[in-house]
Chain A
Amino acid sequence: MPVFPSVEWFDAIKNIVNQDPEFRALGTVDSVIGVKVGGKIYELIFEAFECTNVREATDNDLRDMDFWLEQPYDKWQDMIENIKRNGKAGLSHTLNTLDLSMPEGLARSHDGYRRDAFYRFNQSIQDFFNASAKIDTQFAAAEAVTA
């Protein structure tokens, strides 16, 4: 059972969406996205119709990403559990809704132009996280993530 957060967890999602014709049908996605969970950072590379790579990254790498998604660990957990319960994000748990619900935003960037990739590819990124409904997620202990 993949543990969130981990490269293994994101790889499991990557493998699902890369085989999913509905993900492909959303169209091309060209973006380098970060996911920051406590002290852990992951880089997801999307090119054409696929997520092509997942790796663990560092704070320094954030500057080279179009944007990254960051929220407290308990909010990540809440979002993923909501997706699992509903098969996809509920009305109050979409990435955009979460982004506007936080003063500093969920989607952050050092670049005002590149941050718009969050909007341009919003539905594909949402679909990516929605795919987590198809796996069973084990959540890492909060202390391990926030350290």
Chain B
Amino acid sequence: MADITTIPDHLRAKAQEKGWPDDVVQQALATGASADQIIGYMNQGVTAEQARQFLAAQAGGGPEPSDALKAKAADANWPLDLVKRALAMGAAENDLINFMDMGVTAEQAQQFIEQGGGGGASFQVDLSWMDVPTEWNTRAKPTKHGLTLEAINIGKYGDIPDIWPYQTEMPRGAVPIPGVEGMGYSIFEKQEVWSDACAKLYEEAIQRRWRPATDVPWTSIEPLPDDLERAICQICTHISEKEQLEADVLGRWEPEISYGYHEVKLYLATTIFENARAVEVFRKRALSNGGGLGVQSSGWAFRSIVDARNFTEMVAIQMVLHDSLTLGQYAFGEKFARNPAEKFIFAHCLQDKARHLSYGVSHLKYVLLHRPERREEIQRYLDKGEGMLVQDDKKDPSTRESFAMYFAGGKDKIADGLQVYDAMRKTALGQYLARLKWATLDRSQRLQPGLKAYLGS
């Protein structure tokens, strides 16, 4: 049988690493603990001094329990040597009393101690993270708008570089750790995603939230003639389809954007949320008044968004071109709404959509100011987007006709409604051109002929 006080080589090596002198190791072996058990205690952070006290307590030494603790232990049927062992391992008297009050049995306490618990340092601490060389003493102050993203962009934390050099999810201003796996981002340039308004738009989106389930006055909707109900339900089908697509497309682009531009990522997250809210509210309207859903869209216009190969292409088509027309639909929907519920729905979606447009247009302006060579490239994206839109118009009578019926009040007056539809397009396209002009893009001569025709009406 091996001499249990002879220290095996692997235990000796660990003891040297952890600063346990030979006599403590030998005492521990003499109590019957195995080398692996002792190594386990060392790895859990038990110090040589703690081990010495524990061993002394086992032998009858170590901290003496107070009279109060002794009395409590007697009530709880904890043997005194168990109490002494726990104290020797660094447990505080108050903690032991609490455990006893909670009903922890002596057996449970024994198991806990043997597994390395029982108070004191049960693991080694590092704390080197407290010495990282980040900018300290930062005190962002709340503004009239509260403590906003812009308000915390101070010092180094407000430096938004033109190129973000990190592949990981490290927040801007933090200290990188070499070797952390890359996240596979594809966008590292500020001009690809930035808008000077994005931080402000994020805060506005957060502040101006609304709740379809409870804010919309649903009970104000009264039965409509069948053709009118079918018209509004088709409109709801169309809108919930395209808003879901927009959310999906943005959701795909979010993880492509590196962490240096968190303002953009946060703002786009609100846009996805607002797209989802539009899906929700229009679907609810379709299913709340005796109607149902209608036919899906032919989808050609959507492909130009889905097929966008870079972020600015997607923004130009989705968040400037398409959103301009959708905003027109919401504005005219609000005007012709026949009840407070529909009025509320269109009015609130109008607000959300205007915010999407603000990001889209201001992003284009930022790109054109910083990368003027991209001007023709953006014009071509709009050429493509407008072209697909016009083709979709030819394939998809449902959107045009349903809006026309909604505006006119019924199928028998659809001719009047089609004139209003054309007026809606005219208004929306006029605003589209005005927005692009602000972004320094003149599209008045280049507008797709199928859309330009509306401006002459």
Interface set of A (CB-CB < 8 Å, partner B):
26-28, 30, 47-49, 91, 94, 96-97, 99-101, 111-116, 119-123, 126
Give complex CA distance A28, B206 in Å: 9
CB–CB B354/A116 < 8 A: yes
A61 to chain B, nearest CB (A): 20
CB–CB A111/B350 < 8 A: no
CB–CB A26/B208 < 8 A: yes
B432 to chain A: closest residue by CB: A112
CB–CB A122/B361 < 8 A: no
Give complex CA distance A30, B144 in Å: 11
Give complex CA distance A103, B415 in Å: 20
Give complex CA distance A96, B200 in Å: 24
Task: List residues 191-213 of chain B with CB under 8 A from any CB of chain A.
Answer: 200, 203-204, 207-209
A-B contacts, 8 listed (Cβ < 8 Å): A94-B343, A96-B331, A96-B334, A112-B433, A112-B434, A119-B350, A120-B354, A122-B351
Task: List residues 408-440 of chain B with CB under 8 A from any CB of chain A.
Answer: 427, 431, 433-439
B14 interface residue per 8 A CB criterion:
no
A88 to chain B, nearest CB (A): 10
Contact with A along B344-373 (1 / 0, CB 8 A): 000110110111011001100000000000
Contact with A along B277-305 (1 / 0, CB 8 A): 00000000000000000000000000000
CB–CB B332/A100 < 8 A: yes
Known: A28-B203, A120-B355. A94 touches B347 (CB 8 A): yes
Give complex CA distance A123, B434 in Å: 23
B255 to chain A, nearest CB (A): 28
* B interface residues, how many (CB within 8 angstroms): 39
Interface set of B (CB-CB < 8 Å, partner A):
143-145, 200, 203-204, 207-209, 327, 331-332, 334-335, 337-340, 343, 347-348, 350-351, 353-355, 357-358, 361-362, 427, 431, 433-439
Give complex CA distance A47, B49 in Å: 64
Give complex CA distance A120, B362 in Å: 15
CB–CB A116/B435 < 8 A: yes
- Residues from chain B with a CB closer than 8 A to the CB of A49 are 144
Selected from A100, A101, A114, A119, the residue in CB contact (under 8 A) with B351 is A119
Give complex CA distance A94, B417 in Å: 21
Selected from A28, A113, A126, the residue in CB contact (under 8 A) with B439 is A113
The listed residue with most A CB atoms (<10 A of its CB), out of B200, B339, B358, is: B358
CB–CB B438/A123 < 8 A: no
CB–CB B337/A116 < 8 A: no
Known: A100-B331, A123-B351. A48 touches B362 (CB 8 A): no
CB–CB B208/A28 < 8 A: yes
Give complex CA distance A42, B351 in Å: 24
A122 to chain B, nearest CB (A): 6
Known: A28-B207, A120-B204. A48 touches B354 (CB 8 A): no
Give complex CA distance A94, B340 in Å: 11
A124 to chain B, nearest CB (A): 8
Give complex CA distance A114, B434 in Å: 10
Give complex CA distance A113, B290 in Å: 40
A97 to chain B: closest residue by CB: B335
B339 to chain A: closest residue by CB: A91
Selected from B144, B207, B331, the residue in CB contact (under 8 A) with A119 is B331
CB–CB B347/A113 < 8 A: no
Give complex CA distance A120, B348 in Å: 9
- Residues from chain A with a CB closer than 8 A to the CB of B351 are 119-123
CB–CB A28/B145 < 8 A: yes
The 9 closest A-B pairs by CB, nearest first: A112-B434, A27-B208, A119-B354, A27-B207, A113-B438, A48-B144, A120-B354, A28-B207, A97-B335
